[in-house]
Amino acid sequence: MCPDQDSWHTLHAHLEYGTLGGMSMTQAAPTSYRNFINGQWVDAAASGTLENRNPANQDDVVGVLPRSTPEDVDAAVAAARAAFGRWRLVPAPRRAELLYRAAEILSERKEDYARTMTREMGKILDETRGDVQEAIDMSYLMAGEGRRQYGQTVPSELREKFAMSIRQPIGVCGMITAWNFPIAVPSWKILPALVCGNTVVFKPAEEAPHSAVNFVQALHDAGLPPGVLNLVLGDGPGTGAPLVSHPDVNVISFTGSTETGRLVNQACASSFKKVHLEMGGKNVILVMDDADLELAVDGALWGGFGTSGQRCTAASRVVVHQKLHDAFVDAFVARTRQLRVGDGLEASTQMGPSVSEAQLSRVVDYVKIGQAEGATLAVGGNRLTSGAFARGFFHEPTIFTKVTPSMRIAREEIFGPVVSVLSCGSLDEAIATANDVAYGLSASIYTRDINKAFTAMRDVYTGLFYVNAPTIGAEVHLPFGGTKATGNGHREAGIAALDVFSEWKSIYVDFSGRLQRAQIDTVQI
Ligand code: NAD
């Protein structure tokens, strides 16, 4: 999941915080994106369009997407419903062969897809390459699952009876995703759904439609039959909401904010639709007094400012033992000053822009909130507006110190390059602070004491936990997701993803030729 951490180290050690060197690629003409329904790229009925602009340079229009309507959603769901009857009967190992081919196609196109992704949503090239790589890894993992999808065979309590369970596909799955991992996150949902034998209608984020189009194109080129994977482009209320409430959609898998996830959950409740939610986070790094200081600073930098802080797993809080606090803050602030902010397409850039004006305004607002709450602004705190920054959504990487657990900047998801440093006097206090938020996605501890590491591993209530590493760095073959307001009990990625997109059927075969009654006709020993 992580881009190459070594290059991150080397760069931030050498580079000065500076100005942009101008656009590093020739601006291509805007693309008009279309929906993909029943194996064809088609125009939407659409009630207007949205623009996809480069967040590093608003003069660069990457493309134009339709605001698809409920009518478009109907067409996509109908295609998926019709294809389900055939696709569910394709043997899983054959379904998996197409996913294996998709992995190879994504590998061939990795650089191209990464560059497009950086241009449309801003994260640096190392990270967008990592995003595509994650989808490649997921494709290979799910290709393998075509020959597994293990069920159980268990002994029956009756003599001439056979007992087993199998996974069955559920039907049409609606996938709604955020923009920050525009190929990786869709792959966590779409590939397990497909290998289980479901069909899909995909509604990506309006901020990153080009990457969604690229991902769908790769799967189409791998040979998916018409209707198995469909794409509808548009915004949340106009396109996402009709997909969520569509009576012919059996599963909704959603990644986005907790506020929207709550609406999605409510919309699914009355029909008992299966709903899988991956939502916000307020993740934490705990730095104990015996930690390797330099390693902890490396982790805080990467965890806090990677993807400009726009990761659900971003380390937006660092809780440092008071004995190490001042030394940690000095080093963390010094290294943050050296980070080079700029256009993610330039090789020297270490932190790109926020994705949109709205996202940047949120960052600016939280900086004001932190100051009003009495936290100390140790570095950063300003929007970058001069020179080459003028046409983008850039903000300085920002650290607040003297933050207390009750402050809003320590409790609410900011989703930008703002890190709050808190102080603690013991491991118990650090764990209590870690758990004292509404979210439960990711946490980590820096310590050389194995007892402390295992205690925190046990007692911090999150879905992901790291020892001597930051809060980011998940790999596709383990479950991904969070507790509390981050999720609703499901997990994606790993084999756990199969549980979202399949239902268990328990099967009993009686080969006695007579009525055998379970629990009543007990076998005598
Ligand atoms: P968002 O909730 O605004 O949008 C997410 C998606 O939902 C978009 O595709 C949007 O069009 C759609 N949507 C919006 N309103 C809708 C509605 N009423 N009905 C149906 N769909 C609707 O989130 P965002 O701001 O784009 O993304 C950032 C959020 O996503 C952060 O909170 C971040 O933590 C979270 N996120 C979580 C994970 C995770 O795995 N837990 C991963 C990435 C991002």
- The helix-helix angle for 293-305 and 5-14 (nearest 10°) equals 100
Q: Are 291 and 275 in contact (CB under 8 A)?
A: no
For ligand 1, pick from 260, 312, 415 the residue to mutate: most ligand atoms within 8 Å of CB: 260
How far is ligand 1, taken at its centre, from the CA of residue 55, in Å?
A: 18
Closest ligand 1 atom to the C-alpha of 256?
30
For ligand 1, pick from 257, 279, 462 the residue to mutate: most ligand atoms within 8 Å of CB: 257
Strands, DSSP E only, in 124-256? 152-155, 161-169, 172-176, 199-203, 229-231, 251-255
Distance CA 190, CA 211 (A): 14
Q: Are 477 and 141 in contact (CB under 8 A)?
A: yes
Name residues contacting ligand 1 (CB within 6 A): 176-181, 185, 203, 205-206, 235-237, 240-241, 244, 255-257, 260, 263-264, 278-281, 312, 413, 415, 441, 482, 486
The closest of 54, 162, 69, 59 to 116, measured between CA atoms, is: 54
How far is ligand 1, taken at its centre, from the CA of residue 103, in Å?
A: 26
Taking the CB of residue 262, how many other CB atoms lie within 10 A of it? 13
How far is ligand 1, taken at its centre, from the CA of residue 239, in Å?
A: 13
How far is ligand 1, taken at its centre, from the CA of residue 435, in Å?
A: 23
User: What is the DSSP secondary-structure string of 318-342?
Assistant: EEEEHHHHHHHHHHHHHHHHTPPBS
Tell me the one-letter amino acid at 441: L
Ligand 1 atom 9 nearest Cα: 205
Look at the pTM and tell me if it is higher than 0.85.
Answer: yes
For residue 106 the two structure tokens come to: 């994504």
Q: Are 391 and 425 in contact (CB under 8 A)?
A: no
Phi and psi torsions of 236, nearest 5°: -70, -60
| Sequential pLDDT tens for the chain (525 residues) | 333 333 333 333 332 222 233 334 456 678 999 999 999 999 999 779 999 999 999 999 999 999 999 999 999 999 999 999 999 999 999 999 999 999 999 999 999 999 999 999 999 999 999 999 999 999 999 999 999 999 999 999 999 999 999 999 999 999 999 999 999 999 999 999 999 999 999 999 999 999 999 999 999 999 999 999 999 999 999 999 999 999 999 999 999 999 999 999 999 999 999 999 999 999 999 999 999 999 999 999 999 999 999 999 999 999 999 999 999 999 999 999 999 999 999 999 999 999 999 999 999 999 999 999 999 999 999 999 999 999 999 999 999 999 999 999 999 999 999 999 999 999 999 999 999 999 999 999 999 999 999 999 999 999 999 999 999 999 999 999 999 999 999 999 999 999 999 999 999 999 999 999 999 999 999
CA distances to 8, 190, 249 from 246, rounded to whole Å, are: 45, 18, 6
Q: Among all residues, which ones are annotated catalytic? A: 278, 312
Ligand 1 atom 18 nearest Cα: 237
What are the helix (H) ranges across 338-392? 357-372
Closest ligand 1 atom to the C-alpha of 441?
41
